[in-house]
Amino acid sequence: MNLNINNLQKYYEGQPVLNIENLTIQAGSLLGIIGPNGAGKSTLIKTIAGLIKASSGSIYYDNNKFSSKIQKHMTLVFQKPYLLRSTVFNNIAYPLKIRNVERKEIEKRVIEVMDFIGIESLKNQKAWTLSGGEAQKVALARAIVIKPSLLLLDEPTANIDPNSILVMEEAIKKFHKENNSTVIIITHNLGQSKRLCKEVAFMNKGKIIEIEKTDRLFNSPKHSTTKKFIEGEIII
C-alpha cells in the first residue's frame, strides 16, 4: 500500500505533538522510524491506522481516503500488545475468524504463521501465562496472519532477547518479501533499523527531521540533531 501524508497535525490540549508537512511512503517500502521518547512516533502510526483522528491534514492510502476496506487491509502491533483471554491459537485465529475464513483454512494458516515465528509449542497455552517476549511474538503472528498490505509495528521487539530479536526480524523481512507489503517499524534499537530497513526516518518534536536511505542516514546525516541522536549524544 502506498501512503501519502500532507500537512498532518495533531494537537493535545493546544499542544502540537505531530506536524508532518509531507511524507510519501511507496508501496513495498520497509521504513524504520527512530527518535526520542515523546517525539510523536506512536501518534503518527496510530493516526495512519485510523485510531486517532488528526486535528488537520490528510492521509491517502493508494490515493483513497480512509475506509473500512482499508482498515481491513492493515494491522498495527502495539507497544504493549493486548492478548485476548484465550489460547495462543485463538488469538492468532481471531483476525481470520472475523473475515469469515473457513475453519480448515484458519487452522492451516495459524499453524503456518506460528511456524514462521517459531512459537508452535505455545499453540494451546493460555495467553495470560505467556512471558512478555512470547506475548509480543504472538501479537506479531496475529498481525501478519491476514497478510496485510500495510503492517505497522510499534517497537515490536522491546522485551525480546537478542536471539529472538533476530528470529523476529527474519520473520518481518520474510513477510515483507513474500507479500510485497508496506511495513513501518518504530524502534529504539538503531541496530535493528540498520539490519531491517531500507529507509529510516528520524522524528523529533512531532516532525520528521529527515528521511533517507538507511546507509545515508547513519553515515552522513544532514541535520545536526539526527547526528547527535544516532551518536548517542543528548538532544534537547
Ligand X SMILES: Nc1ncnc2c1ncn2[C@@H]1O[C@H](COP(=O)(O)OP(=O)(O)OP(=O)(O)O)[C@@H](O)[C@H]1O
**Cβ distance to ligand X smaller for residue 34 or 106:** 34
Cα gap 103→114, rounded to integer Å: 17
Q: Which stretch binds another protein (CB under 8 A): 34-42, 56-64, 71-79, 202-210?
A: 71-79
The radius of gyration of the chain from alpha carbons, rounded to an integer in Å, stands at 18
- Three-state SS string over the chain comes to CCEEEEEEEEEECCEEEEEEEEEEECCCCEEEEECCCCCCHHHHHHHHCCCCCCCEEEEEECCECCCHHHHCCEEEECCCCCCCCCEHHHHHHHHHHCCCCCHHHHHHHHHHHHHHHCCHHHCCCEHHHCCHHHHHHHHHHHHHCCCCCEEEEECCCCCCCHHHHHHHHHHHHHHHHHHCCEEEEECCCHHHHHHHCCEEEEEECCEEEEEEEHHHHHHCCCCHHHHHHHCCCCCC
Residue nearest to Mg ion (CB): 42
In the stretch 130-159, what mask flags binding to another protein with x, by CB under 8 A? ------------xx--x-------------
Q: Is 39 in the site for ligand X (CB under 6 A)?
A: yes
User: Minimum distance between the CB of residue 83 and another protein, rounded to whole angstroms?
Assistant: 9
Q: Which stretch binds ligand X (CB under 6 A): 33-41, 94-102, 137-145, 211-219?
A: 33-41
User: Minimum distance between the CB of residue 168 and ligand X, rounded to whole angstroms?
Assistant: 18
**Cβ distance to another protein smaller for residue 99 or 213:** 99
Q: Which stretch binds another protein (CB under 8 A): 80-88, 107-115, 179-187, 201-209?
A: 80-88
Q: Which residue has the cell 481471531?
A: 94
Q: Is 60 in contact with 54 (CB distance < 8 Å)?
A: no
Chosen residue from 5, 17, 110, 140 binding ligand X by CB under 6 A = 17
Chosen residue from 23, 84, 111, 158 binding another protein by CB under 8 A = 84
Q: Which stretch binds Mg ion (CB under 5 A): 39-47, 66-74, 97-105, 122-130?
A: 39-47
Q: Is 50 in the site for another protein (CB under 8 A)?
A: yes
Q: Which stretch binds Mg ion (CB under 5 A): 7-15, 36-44, 64-72, 161-169?
A: 36-44
**Cβ distance to ligand X smaller for residue 40 or 148:** 40
Q: Which residue has the cell 507479500?
A: 179
User: Minimum distance between the CB of residue 175 and Mg ion, rounded to whole angstroms?
Assistant: 22
CA geometry: angle at 177 spanning 176 and 181, to 5°? 45
Q: Is 14 in the site for ligand X (CB under 6 A)?
A: no
Chosen residue from 3, 20, 30, 42 binding ligand X by CB under 6 A = 42
Binding residues for another protein, how many (CB under 8 A)? 22
